[in-house]
Amino acid sequence: MTQIRKELGTNAVILSSKEIQEGGFLGLFKKRKVEVVAALDRDPVLMKQQKPITKKPEIPINTRKQTVNHELMNEIKNMRLLLEQQSLQQQVHKYPLDYQTVYHHLIEQEVKEEIATSIMESVIKQHENKNTFPKAAIIAQDVKQEMESRLSNLSFKGISKSARVVHFVGPTGVGKTTTIAKVAAKSMLQDKKSVAFITMDTYRIAAIEQLKTYAKILDNPVEVVYSPQDYQEALEKFRDHDLILVDTAGRNYRDEQYVEELTKNIKLKGNVENYLVLSLTAKPKDIIDIFHSFRHIDIKGLIFTKIDETRQYGSLLNIPLTHQLGIAYITNGQEVPDNIVIPSKEVISNYIVGDLIDS
């Protein structure tokens, strides 16, 4: 109506509308469009005067508002539905329908477009070589296997048993402190290691108190450090412990000076490992930006948190495949030590396409 009134004026009316198909190749991939026939009522006032004038009952103001709001909401819903249909129709040009269904699912899961395209084309080629034409559920199963094949060279083992000092780095709010407590509890219960905590996060009092609380519950010592010298003294103090877990400061990852200082402070020799902690609730582009901000740090692996707070899992695939970097842990809640998962290629692929296969 907005487009029609813009061209014909406010007195324009729609006479009819219908769906048509245009273009295509050999009868396939036609575009579905909507054809609207409109006309201009050049003398609407005169036509209304020719009709018998009957006085309509007065409609209360509140009722009129409700009617207008209802009509407006219906119009918005119809417009949104039309846009969604047009979007899907445009995507059909990329692959045949069943393949497009799976591809669209990958994009909805926030898998990077180039990765989703590469996986789909590999699966399509496999089917062409076998001269098979499977339905979406079988295609999804083959996509799952292709993902697992590409992830098979990566490590999903968590921190090494030989590691003595482990740094947890990442932006603020991703859950580093809680993750450290879960890793500590796991190392104590399963590996029978003596664990100590060090925190560099002196910018947030809450983070210090949270780590002290976990240390008290787990009966582990904890040191708060304010300078590189304090850090060296804390490491020396805990020299008899099997494992030292270090909570680094959570700051703005776009602050290059902070990242440079952090890189210098945690650059140690020996059995030292660094893990980048990322929240799956963050936007995929932000997660990629965070990774590049910490690229100067020797990252051993990734830790993804808050998987229970999202339904999009594409980031589990994006950075590992792009940078050939494994995932050490996935956390799925606040409970210590229970809400921590040792990932695998099967776990990751199931998060991304499991629902599509089960459906």
What's residue 263's pLDDT?
A: 74
Q: Name 331's bridge partners.
A: 340
Q: Which pLDDT does position 223 carry in this prediction?
A: 93
C-beta of residue 231 within 8 angstroms of C-beta of residue 200: yes
User: Average pLDDT of 115-143?
Assistant: 93
Q: What's the pLDDT score for residue 86?
A: 59
Handedness of CA 297, 298, 302, 303 (dihedral sign): negative
Specify the 3-state DSSP secondary structure of 339.
coil
d(CA 156, CA 164): 19
Q: Are 204 and 229 in contact (CB under 8 A)?
A: no
Least reliable range by pLDDT among 81-95, 239-253, 255-269, 281-295: 81-95
Least-confidence region, from 31-45, 114-128, 207-221, 312-326? 31-45
- Asked whether the predicted pLDDT for residue 258 surpasses 70, the reply is no
Q: What is the distance between the alpha carbons of residues 197 and 124, in angstroms, rounded to a whole number?
A: 50
In one letter, which amino acid is 322?
A: T
pLDDT of residue 48: 42
User: For residue 49, what pLDDT band results from cuts at 50, 70 and 90?
Assistant: very low
* CATH fit for domain 165-343, picks 2.60.120.380, 3.40.50.2300, 3.30.70.20, 3.40.50.300: 3.40.50.300
**In the chain, what is the straight-line distance between the N-terminal and C-terminal CA atoms, in Å?**
39
Averaged pLDDT for residues 253-277: 77
Looking at every residue in the chain, the average pLDDT score rounds to 84
200 in helix, strand or coil? coil
Please say whether the beta carbons of 320 and 327 come within 8 A: yes
The H or E element spanning position 304 is strand 301-305
Structure tokens given for 245: 């877990």
Buried b (16+ CB within 10 A) or exposed e, 117-126: bebbeebbee
The pLDDT of residue 299 is above 80: yes
Give yes or no for a contact between 294 and 259, defined as CB atoms under 8 angstroms apart: yes
Q: Is 141 exposed, middle or buried (0-12, 13-18, 19+ CB in 10 A)?
A: middle
Does residue 303 contact residue 277 with C-beta atoms inside 8 Å? Answer: yes
User: Is 59 exposed, middle or buried (CB count within 10 Å of its CB: 0-12, 13-18, 19+)?
Assistant: exposed
Query: What average pLDDT does range 68-91 have in this prediction?
Result: 65
Q: Is the pLDDT at 58 greater than 50, yes or no?
A: yes
pLDDT for 83 beyond 80: no
Q: What is the pLDDT of residue 221?
A: 95
Q: How many helices (H) and strands (E) does the chain have?
A: 13, 10
Domain ranges for the chain, please list them.
2-48+65-91, 97-151, 165-343
- Joined together, the tokens standing for residue 113 give 């477009």
- Sign of the CA dihedral running 300, 293, 234, 327: negative
pLDDT at 28 over 90: no
Give the Cα separation of 308 and 331 in Å (integer).
8
